[in-house]
Structure 1
Amino acid sequence: MSEAKSVAGSSTNKRWLMHVAVALGYALAYVTVRPFSVTYWPFVFGLRVACLMLTPRRYWPALVVGEVIPLAYFNALCLDDFGLLAMVLNSMPLIAVGMPVISWFRNRAGLFPTPGMVNLTRLLGCMLALSALWASIKYAILSTVHLPSGPYHIPEGAAWKYAIGIYTVLLLVVPWVIMIRIRGRRHLWPLLPLRTQMTHPLVRDAGVALLILLGLMGWYRVAGTDTQSTPLMAMFLPAVWLTLKHGWRASVLGGTLSLVSLACASNLLMWTSDAYHLQAETLMDMAITSLYFFGARISEQGRAYGQARQDAREDKDVARSALALGEARLQRTSQALDYLATLLRMDYMDVLTRYVPPEEYTSFHQEAEHLRRHVRHLAESLYPSAWRERGLGAALHETLGKVLREADITYDCDTVGRELRFLSPACQSVLYRVACDAVTALSTSPACIGLHMGIRTGRRPSGRWVVLRIRSMENPQRVAAAMVQGRSREGIATALGASLRTVEEARQLVRLFDGLLDLRTVPDGKRISLLLYDQAPNATVPAAPIRLWVE
């Protein structure tokens, strides 16, 4: 019993220590950020939202305590300058005011609809609500300030300056915090070699955008008063370019670079009443907000396109599997027919030697041999034995060559590389069947005297490719001889098992492997070219979310 109490006491102490650590850590972060916070760039508001987004809810009271401590200290130093009421109100922790807003958006409004996703519409709505709420409170506190010389006159447009400044900082900070939150477990940046990271397209394009922004900043410094607005307004164009190329995350990066460049160019870090600077920052905030929506839409379209490609790839994989299964069945059927032909020969020979009179032996033997040859030819047309025993290259060399030479058509096959055997069964079957159809179609011309086939193979990162080219050689003077041999040429399709597909049907079959098929007339004949990509199945792509949900 005493051991259980000691364990419970130690766990309670650890929880209290964690709360104390969170409070002290937040107070230290607040003290560090506060000197850099001015009206146009109040970074403490970005710190508040970042901590509320990243910290578990059980530590929120510790965040309130961590903010009260430095606020009370700094406001006590200014008590004689601004009055007791203003300093008491200014010591109110604004992080506590923002907690109900963020909690409502997280729990009721669907800010994070699914794990790893954020609803950008809700996120920007949350940022606008926090900006309006905190700006109203800051303006109300400012109205209670009492200087030693008399009442404080509030500058014109102070409320709008507060709202724009807070919203600008939230635009600058919150998207990065959200990316850390939704991708924290999967790492914000993959653990890749430094050289790979530096050559990433986004890093390269960000470097180009940074150079453009530096050029615009230099232009602003040397431009006259009448033309200074042009480089300021053009500072969001690099962000648009990054967004078009890379989507929402690039819009966040580009927006951050544009806002920082605007601040450096126009000295917005100082409190000024210049309406020109305020207008520039307002227009830039509107542009960046629109850019975030634009980037989210592009990312959504990219995911939808990737999902459509994945679905098409899966459909092709199903068709390839069905094609490979059909070829396997043909192979087993052809092999069974070969066995049947052998058994028929053995049975007929046994019957002929035992029961058939010698004078009828020859006729019965011829009929038996004819039946055996017919069965074997049927087996060869379904699935050549050369293909089963020695691979696809042997079938293209031997089976096609034998059938064409029997029809008095010369044939030669040129194969470079030995990677045909590494192709998938479905790709091999498409290559062979289309080759048989092409050979049959080209040999039907009476003027055809020969065929030349060339095959090239290779590899690429996503798989292998194969190119097949068949060219017919025609001689009009041999038409009469070909007409005499018409019956033997008609048997080419039967011997090869060609299905006599049309060109469009063959193209549809080739598209299963993202291939191309081309038929054209060349000098002294015709040429059929075929390209197939034997790709490995793509990685699974998550389903595209609905609405402006980004990851």
Structure 2
Amino acid sequence: MSHGIRWSVWLRHGAVALCYALGYALLRQVSWSHWVLFTGYRLSVLLLVPYRYWPALVIGEIGPLAYVSLSCLESFGWVWSSLMLVPPIALAMPVVKACRDRLSMIPARGPVRMGAVLICTLVISGLWSLMNLAALSVVKTPSNYPPIDYGVAAAQYFIGNYLGILTLVPLVLMVWEGRAKRAASWRVTIENALRGRLAIESVAFVLPALALLVWIGLEASSVGSRQVAQMLMFLPVIWLALRHGWHGAAVGGAVASIAVVVTMPELRDTSTLQAEVFVAFATTSMLLFGSRIAQLHQQKGHGGEPAEKSLDLARRIQAQCEAQLRQTSLGIELISETVHATEEMMFERLRQFRPQVDSRELRRRTTVTREQLFQLADGLNPVTLREQGLAAALRHGGIARALNSHRIGYWCRARGGVDQLSHPMQLALHRLVCEVVTHLCAAHSVGDLTVHLRSGQHAGRRWAVVRIDALFSADSGLLVRGGPLLHRLAATGLGMDAIRDRAALYEGTIKVHTTAHGECISMMVYDDEADSLEQVVLVERTTPEIFSFS
């Protein structure tokens, strides 16, 4: 058993070493003096591969280095070949480990710390450049070979390493961060990235602009024109960084560095080196700037959490208040039934002892009392809303009966998926309409009143719009004063401020417009009810149809 586990571990380490060696060898074929792409590959692997596989990476790099060392042994000497056997990845490991552990460069949760990544990049680029200079200083050269300018060589090595890292590492970290946030596979993460706005804008705008600059650089008749075209390639980096943060800077920097290298007329071209310095500086600045933008967005999101928690708390409290109103409504219904039974018993006894007494007036009054109790219970917990939904409650419920009793014309028009709104939202809209109707009828002589209700869904959020059109009348008798309408609709009568506060629980906005013959009040709310709001625990649930939120 232990022997099989040991073989499995060795096979995994061997596979890591082999894969790394193949990638290293392939990227070495597309690297130039000013653009050492395999250094970006080397650092990307160090950033993401677990520490237990680092020895395998060292062994995987020794293979290609040994091949280069042996191939150039006669040309450059055994000292140079010996130095070439030292794997640069091993020298970078202490720096990367320190940045990963102490600077939290790539946290398990949260965004990548681009400042720490750039510090690590600068240190490692300088370290690998010193290695290259050390190897160059001991290289065996022909007698007629011109003297080596170590200053120019150091600049070439550093810019080549640094730009090679900037080309690959931010892209790799961008994909890794997207996968970590969504907890998805690499394939799904890459597919989502290709379908995102950043990829679309890069293909639609950045690539054509860079292609034009590359064409200008290749067709330029003078060195100055080509250099201007190369330096202008930093513009897409800035544009993408301003729109998408450091992710945009990562994509723009990679594409711009490739475009600069494509326009390089020859190896070790000085003008291209200057353009690469400019693009590297622009990419570094935009990565830092974009990272800061991302941090500000994150802090803003955290700052909004208390407000969201307060809003959720207010909604839960409102749901509990609605549950208490349901219990009160149930109690009133039970009292109404008890009163009705008592009345019937009294009428039966009255017929037995005083058969000559006319009880019609008494029956009329008891009927009015039961009707008032029903209206009060229905205002607290609308029966039609509970049984048939919001549209039916607005058309045939307490609002329609109350306005009809006061000789006010009333219509309700509903369209869209109104019944698909959650029950708490339907109840909240019903309360809002009751408050607005009470406010309008108490402040003006309303002759006709129309409620327009519409609902829909956008970006995964369901919304509802209510518009109440009131036509004023010159008949002062239509002005409803005092509490009759408030009692029948269970409205507070606190005015527009209370209506705005109630709508704000659902991110709602209230607008009041004065028309030629009346007034129009419109509101828009969003239905983002949590499951906890739809399941309020009640003390008693004797009548599930009344107390259920669903």
Answer whether contact 1:82 1:148 (CA < 8 A) is retained: no
Deviation, 1:117, is 4.4
Shift of 1:235: 1.1
Is the alpha carbon distance of 1:132 and 1:441 closer, same or farther for their aligned partners in structure 2, counting shifts above 3 Å? same
Query: 1:347 and 2:348 equivalent?
Result: no
Which of 171, 174, 184 is the matching residue for 1:186? 184
- What are the superposed Cα offsets for residues 42-74 of structure 1, whole Å, 9 maximum, x if unpaired? 233233323333443333333333333443343
Paired AA for residue 502 in structure 1: G
In the TM superposition, residue 328 of structure 1 has moved relative to its aligned partner by 3.1
Instruction: For 1:141-540, list aligned pairs within 5 A.
Output: 141-149=135-143, 153-155=147-149, 156-179=151-174, 183=179, 186-188=184-186, 190=188, 200-207=196-203, 208-223=205-220, 224-267=222-265, 270-272=267-269, 274=270, 276-307=271-302, 312-313=307-308, 315-351=310-346, 353-354=348-349, 358=354, 371-398=369-396, 399-416=398-415, 419-445=417-443, 447-476=445-474, 478-479=475-476, 481-482=477-478, 491-535=484-528
Q: Distance in 1 between matches of 2:388 and 2:21?
A: 77
Preserved CA contact (<8 Å) 1:462 1:536: no
Whole-angstrom CA distance in 2 between matches of 1:298 and 1:450: 53
SS at match of 2:465: strand
Deviation at 1:258, TM superposition (A): 0.8
Letter in 1 for 2:429: L
Is structure 2 residue 128 aligned with structure 1 residue 134?
yes
Q: SS at the partner of 1:41?
A: coil
> Among the aligned pairs, what percent are the same residue?
31
1:49 and 2:62 correspond = no
Distance 1:434 1:77, change over 3 A: closer
CA distance in 2, matches of 1:409, 1:116: 59
Aligned residues: 521
- Read off the aligned partner of 1:524 and give its amino acid letter: H
> What whole-Å deviation, never above 9, does each CA across 1:68-111 have from its counterpart, x for those lacking one?
34433433333343333233223322222122222222233322
**What displacement does 1:368 show?**
5.3
- Pick closer, same or farther for the CA change 1:516–1:23 going to 2, 3 Å: closer
Aligned partner of 1:493: which letter?
Answer: L
Structure showing greater relative contact order (alpha-carbon pairs closer than 8 Å, 6 or more residues apart): 1
Match of 2:471, SS? strand
Given that residues 37 and 167 in structure 2 are in contact (C-alpha distance below 8 angstroms), is that contact kept between their aligned partners in structure 1? no
C-alpha distance 16-416 of structure 1, shift in aligned 2 (>3 A): closer
Alignment match, 1:542:
none
- Unpaired runs of 5+ in structure 2? 532-550
Q: 1:430 to 1:131 in 2, by over 3 A?
A: same
Q: Is the 8 A contact 2:385 2:427 kept in 1?
A: no
In structure 1, distance between residues paired with 2:421 and 2:463: 9
Partner of residue 544, structure 1: none
CA distance in 2, matches of 1:263, 1:150: 30
Structure 2 CA distance for aligned equivalents of residues 227 and 338 of structure 1: 89
Unaligned runs of 5+ residues in structure 1 are 1-6, 539-551
**Aligned partners of 1:117 and 1:167: how far apart in 2?**
22
Question: In 2, are the aligned partners of 1:463 and 1:536 still within 8 Å (CA)?
Answer: no
Per mean C-alpha deviation after superposition, the further-off stretch among 391-400 and 372-381 is: 372-381
SS in 2 for 1:408: coil
> Which whole-Å CA distance do the structure 1 matches of 2:3 and 2:218 have between them?
64
SS of residue matched to 1:518: strand
Mapped to 2, the partners of 1:537 and 1:84 lie a distance apart of: 72
Contact 1:409-1:448 within 8 A present in 2 as well: yes
